[in-house]
């Protein structure tokens, strides 16, 4: 996947992603996403995490959804890949029907387990233009960290963890997980 250049041989994937579409994709496969995706900053993750602990309804329809994890937010303790408490929020979304996460960082073992258990995907894309774009859907008081809906067309990406537990490290060759 070249930065900013659509992958001509990539598999097209429409969002919302169906369970059968997710099951067909394999780790290391290049894809192009089209449709609405969601983006959430660090403070937004804290709200999702608190809401999941309080069993509050999610502020968006998670079924088949793709959630882009803001790289800046991923370094925060309340964000995904930031620890067990943060992982719980992501796992809650995956268990609720989230089809994929777009992340620039490797998934923790607990998130990889949830992806396999619920048939979801981890995806990597180098597009950074998504950070502040899109309509605010929830948590408008958070500014750039609010929940946003972003419509993408042919967003190039690669599957890093498939629905069967297969893993692909962007800097290395595919490593099929046992399972």
**Any idea which residue has 């899109």 for tokens?**
134
DSSP category for residue 1: -
Q: What is the pLDDT of residue 30?
A: 96
In the structure, how many helices (H) and strands (E) does the chain have? 4, 9
pLDDT tens track of the chain, all 179 residues?
444 445 678 999 999 999 999 999 999 999 999 999 998 887 888 888 888 778 888 899 999 999 988 665 555 554 444 555 567 778 889 999 999 999 888 888 999 999 999 999 999 986 655 655 789 999 999 988 899 999 999 999 999 999 999 999 876 444 544 44
Q: What is the pLDDT of residue 104?
A: 81
Separation between Cα atoms, residue 49 and residue 32, nearest integer Å: 29
Domain boundaries, the chain: 11-172
Q: What is the pLDDT of residue 128?
A: 59
pTM of the model: 0.83
Q: Would you tell me which CATH number, out of the four given (3.40.50.2300, 3.30.360.10, 3.10.180.10, 3.20.130.10), belongs to the domain 11-172?
A: 3.20.130.10
CB 79 within 8 A of CB 88: no
Q: What is the pLDDT of residue 8?
A: 76
DSSP category for residue 16: S
């Amino acid at each position: 996947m070249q930065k900013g250049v659509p992958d001509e041989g990539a598999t097209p994937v429409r969002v919302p992603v169906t369970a059968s579409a997710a099951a067909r994709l394999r780790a290391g496969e290049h894809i192009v996403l089209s449709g609405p995706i969601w983006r959430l900053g660090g403070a937004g993750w804290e709200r999702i995490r608190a809401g999941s602990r309080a069993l509050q309804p999610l502020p968006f329809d998670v079924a088949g959804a793709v959630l882009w994890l803001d790289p800046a937010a991923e370094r925060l303790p309340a964000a995904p890949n930031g620890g067990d408490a943060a992982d719980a929020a992501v796992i809650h979304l995956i268990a609720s029907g989230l089809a994929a996460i777009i992340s620039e960082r490797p998934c923790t073992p607990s998130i990889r387990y949830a992806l396999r258990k619920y048939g979801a995907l981890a995806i990597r894309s180098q597009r950074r233009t998504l950070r502040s774009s899109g309509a605010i859907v929830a948590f408008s008081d958070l500014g750039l960290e609010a929940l946003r809906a972003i419509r993408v067309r042919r967003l190039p990406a690669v599957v890093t963890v498939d629905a069967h537990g297969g893993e692909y490290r962007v800097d290395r060759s595919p490593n099929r997980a046992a399972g």
